[in-house]
Amino acid sequence: MPELPEVETVRRGLVDVLTGREIVQAEIMDGRLTAPVPPDVVAHELLGAVVESVGRRGKYLVIGLDDGRSLVWHLRMTGWFHHVSERADRPHLRAVFGLDDGTWLLYSDQRRFGTARLVGAGGLDDFWRRRVGPEPLEDWTAADLRRALRGRRAPIKALLLDQNVVAGVGNIYADEALWQARIHPLTPGESIGPARATRLHDAVVDVLGRGILAQGASIDTYRRVDGEPGSMQERFAVYDREGEPCPRCGYPIRKIRVAQRGTHYCPNCTPRR
* Catalytic residue from among 3, 6, 8, 176: 3
36: preceding bond cis by omega (within 30 degrees): yes
Quick check: is 2 catalytic? yes
CA dihedral 30, 17, 121, 97 (to 10 degrees): -30
Taking the alpha carbons at both ends of the chain, their separation in whole angstroms is 30
* Catalytic residue from among 11, 57, 59, 224: 59
Three-state secondary-structure class, residue 223:
coil
Specify the DSSP element, H or E, that contains 53: strand 51-57
* Catalytic residue from among 87, 182, 261, 267: 261
Radius of gyration of the chain (CA): 20
Q: Return the DSSP state at 97.
A: E
Quick check: is 157 catalytic? no
Distance CA 231, CA 234 (A): 6
Distance CA 9, CA 54 (A): 12
* Catalytic residue from among 2, 5, 39, 185: 2
Quick check: is 91 catalytic? no
Quick check: is 3 catalytic? yes
Q: In sequence order, which residues have a C-beta less than 8 Å from that of residue 7 and are 6 or more positions away?
A: 56, 58, 59, 60, 61, 75, 168
Q: Residue 265 carries which side chain, given as an amino acid letter?
A: Y
Catalytic residues: 2-3, 59, 261
